[in-house]
Structure formats: C-alpha cells, structure tokens
Structure 1
Amino acid sequence: MTTLTTPYYLIDENKLLKNLHIIQQVREASGAKSVLALKCFSTWCVFDLMRQYLNGTTSSSLFEARLGHEKFGKEVHAYSVAFSESDIKAVREFAGKIIFNSISQLTRYHSNVCGLKLGLRINPGISYSHYDLADPARKYSRLGVSDNSEIAKVSSLLSGLMFHFNCENDDVDHLSAAIDFIGIHYGNLLEKMEWVSLGGGIAFTKAGYPLDQFCEKLKNFSEQFGIQVYLEPGEASITHGAELVTTVLDVIHNEIDIAIIDASLEAHLLDHLIYHTTPKIISPEPGTHRMMIAGRTCLAGDVFGEYDLDARLEIGSEVRIADAAGYTMVKKNWFNGISMPSIVVRRLDGTVEIIREFGYEDFKSSLS
C-alpha cells in the first residue's frame, strides 16, 4: 500500500473526467474546440487522460508552449503579453498558432513567423470579473488591442482573433450578450478570419450551468461568421479535481483556537491570499467547533480561514482543502523553505500513485 506523507496535492482522475465529459459534450453540440489553459494547470502527469477530451493547449509563455508541445501534443496555441526575439525563434518551431498581444509585436515579428497561423488579442472593452486584479478590461489595460481601425490595417496578416475577457463567469446571459456585442462590433473582421478564441474564465462545467443555451450560442456564432470557435478552459477543466491534504502540527489559543497545519496559504494556495478568498474544507465536515486554520510560515497573514467544524482539531488531525488544482501547483513556491507538497494522483482505476516528492535538493537548486 502506498504510504503518503502530508502535505500533498491529490489529483483525482475520476473527478477530472466529469469536467472533461462536459467539455466533450460542448464540442459535439456546438462545434467549439477546447484547448487547455496551461497558465492555470500544467501538471502533465494527467495529460494522457486530458488529451483524449481536449484539442490541445494554449500558453502564456515560451516555456508553457513548449510543455504543451512536448507533453500534451495536438494543437499548440502560443500567446504572450510580450515575446522576445529569442522567444519567437524558439516558439515558431512547435506552435501551430501564435497569438500576439499588440500590433507592434505582430508587425515586428511577422517576417519571422510568416506561414504560420497568426492571431491578435482584441480588448473589446467589456469583461466579467469579480476582481479588478484579474479584469482584462480594467483601466489602462495592456491586454489586447482596442483600436478597430488599426486592427483593420493588419487584418490581412491574421488568420484568427482572441477575445479573452472573462474571469469565473457563470452567468450565461451575460456571456451571450457579450458574444452578441463582439459580433456586432467585430463582425467585419470575424468574416475574414478562420478561427476565433473566446478565451477562458467561463465556468461552463459548474453544476447547473445551462449547457444547451451555451452550446446554441456558440454554434450560432460560429455559423454566422463561418468561423471555428475555440474555448480556453483552465479552471473549467480541473474544478473540484484535486485537494491539498495536510496534517495539524500544533493547536494554540489566542481568543480563538488556531490549528497550524504543515502547509501554507502563501506557498501552496497563493491565489487565495492574492484575492482575499477563503478556501473550502472537505474534511473535517461542518459542525459547531469554531477554529482558525493557519499555515506554518512566519507571514502573519498566512491564514486559510475560520471554520465551524464537526470536531475540534488536534495535533495529528488531517485537514483536506478543496479545489487545489487551478492556479495552485503552477504558483507554488519555496517561501520560508517550507516543504513543497508532493504531487499524487488517484487514477481512474482507484490506484494511488506518488508522482513527485520534493526535498532539500529541490529547494537548493531553485536558488543559486
């Protein structure tokens, strides 16, 4: 039997499969292809499963694009807020589509990549985000081009456009209205293109999401402009697919009982700290025992949250933290030299496999 030592990220392939089946359903009903957003999830030990349901990967850097090529295969969409010349020379060898963030980048590097399918990110001036930090249409946004007349001048260099304007959008009516807006304001451009990406940040694998309405909107949009639609699911691909398993190391009291676990919000679930959100606890179950759960770093605010639990946590108690896949493993860090969680997978057949453990040599080699 596999011996697991906390902390570790536990990826469950059967839970991933639920999302992947929905992605497949959307493709079959709407014709929209989906490419995995590696900025959200790049843990390639489960790519053998994911590539059966996704059309490829999309990236935000040279390294992500190369990883998609080497470990996922299929389509490789390479985007970056700003490519360097060396990036372009490298990425052109394995990317099928290169998407530029600005007209200046497109015109500067066009001669290096002519012959490939090129795209341009458009900022339509509309967005959906609960957080200004993640809002691509925020004031002074550098993400995408907003001047239609300038876009028209370079349209002959392009085969596609990207509109990435959502973050955690679970409102299908809002999304439908936004797609209509894009059709109205960019229809003349879309009619000249082979493909369009509507980006990620669409929570269409969420329980209860109106998939029929979503698929109909995508299908109609595609048919209206004679264009291949792409989605870039990141969180939608892996939501509820993993958890962070930890152990309580100490319990102290300062007006409230505080359980200190062998993991860190700062180092292992960084997005919650950045966005001031509270992760959900899978185990213990809810109850009447009020406790704070905190990380083991010296950062005063390394706190997962306050929870009402069915039992008081004690030294040695196990704590399982939900949704530990998206924007977690890609952002984990060595702050305080705290032990990095191992990566563990529960395969479709129930087999538990330790994929990677991290030790002192990994910590040392990450420095200089």
Structure 2
Amino acid sequence: MTRPFSSLAEFRALLSAAPSLDSEAKAGAEERNGQLTKPPGALGRLEDLAIWYASWRANPRPSIENPQVIIFAGNHGVCARGVSAFPPEVTVQMVANFEHGGAAINQLSKAFGADMSVVSLSLDTPTADFTTAPAMTEDEVVDALVAGWTAVKDTSDLLVVGEMGIGNTTAAAAVAAALFGGDAADWTGRGTGVDDEGLNRKTSAVADGLALHADVIADPLEALRCLGGRELAAMAGAIARARNLRIPVILDGFICTASAAALECAVAGSLDHTVAGHVSAEGAHAKLLAHLKKAPLLNLGLRLGEGSGAALAIGVLKGAIACHSGMFTFAEAGVSDA
C-alpha cells in the first residue's frame, strides 16, 4: 500500500473526507426489521445494532464473516515516573504471549471466529517521557497512525483494536484530560493495580504533562502526539481506516476509547461507525463514554485491555445480525402480523 498520508494535516483531511453510512441500506434494514416475526422492539438494542451494522456495510441483510482483531503494542517513557505496577519489560513478554496464543484475547478471538494479529511498535525505543518532552515527534506519531491504517484488511467486515503497553493508562488519562478538560485526578485510575502512592505518581505525571504541553494540546491530534503513545496512535489510525472502508468497529476499554476520542474531537462524526463494546472497571471509562454519547453493550467489570471486552462483544453483534438476517418475516413464516 502506498503511504496514505505523511503529516497530521493530511491525516486530518482524510478524516474530514471519510464516507458516511449507506442511507438506502439503512432504510432497507429498517423495513426488514419491521417485518420480522416478533413484536416491534422486542429485541431491544439488538435491532438498533443490526440496522447500524447494515447501514455501514451497505447491505440491508448482512452477515459477519471476517471479523478482525488487531493488538498494537508500544512502550512509554513516562514509566520512568513509577506509574505502573509492572516494569516495561512486560510489554515484550506479553507480545510473545499473544504470538504464542496464550492470552485472553487469543481465546476470545478464536471463540468468535476473528482473525487476530499483533503489531509491535518500536518496543526497544519507548516514547519520550511526556512530563519533560512531547511523547512523539510528528514523524513518529504519523508512522504509528500509518501502522494502524495499513494493518486493517480491506476484506474485514468488523474490527476490534486492542493494546498492550505498560504505562498506557497514564497516557490515556492525559489524552482524555486534554480532550475533555477537568483535573488530572478526574481521569487517572489505578490501571494495572497501583497502590495509593503509585496513583499519586500517575496523577502528578498527568498533571505535569498537561501543564507542559498546554499551548498545543487544544488540538486533539497534538494531544495524541504529545501525551499519547505509539499504540494509541496506531489504534486511532486503524479506526480511521475502518471508517474509510465502511468497516464497523467495536471499541474496547479506556485506552482504546481515549485514542478513538481524539478522532471524534478532531472531526465530529469520526466515530459514527463505532459502538462501545463494554464499560471497564477503570473509573474514568464511563465518563469518557458519556462524553462520546456511547452506551456500552456489556458491563462485566473487565479491566484487562488488549481488546478483550470488545472481542467479547463480537458475540452480541453476531447475535444481532443472525436474528436480523436469519429470521423469517411474517409473510415468509405464514404468520399473521395483524
């Protein structure tokens, strides 16, 4: 694939030019839903999900055959501030676990028939500590966005993106605070399970990063560059590419949602092709979803990351599509709809 963009300005232009849903397919799906052998609204949100999915796939009676899960991994310089309960070496070790099929996301991807891959992003070169410098240069953040963009297969019909990166809840908290305001403490949680002292260090790091980059982070893409990480940028790039291809996306937890929020804040409507797979146990995730007006499909107390909650929600969406496309209409079943 030819390099799709070479600057944040070019990436922003692609966001602005992204296609919309197919209104004809939406109308056809709504019409079909009204004729299925059930009382109106009896399947609740499953009906809305099926119509939403059909609208983006330009098919009023779609199926899900090729779901894709991509895990992006990156390391963070802010870990030097003692913001995680685990050392940065764990990122590399977990990537090996993904590659050998031993993680939760491997099992969930397999359970729901998803093709899963892992993309490592310069793990031997952590981003800069965002409390002392921008996390990434423009070239670095663009490289990460491109890595996400090019990882999406054009044959996929559903996308889940996840992440692995020790320290990335700190980066996500900083990005969320830059996008939506509030104090650092409003967005900073315990992540991998830090104690009170660790939480104080995380909160201080987020506050310091916000103060250092205050002059530029009103621009959402600059917030992603200065405060985020390679895996956050790659997830954003993949979500944007999915929109370009009209591939629906299920968002994962706090880190994925913070990454996606940068797109929505940069160009309104950039997340219309997405749904929230779940609300995680990371405290600020529910607040982030509220800002984005995304109602989660699941609430199971998950806080693992790595795309796990979104992958689990593939089953919900598959159920919605199976009912929508597989049920008989009243006419087909010979049942009176009076």
The normalised TM-score by structure 1 is 0.26
Q: Which has the higher contact order (CA 8 A, sep 6+)?
A: 2
Q: Which has the larger radius of gyration?
A: 1
**More strand, by proportion:** 1
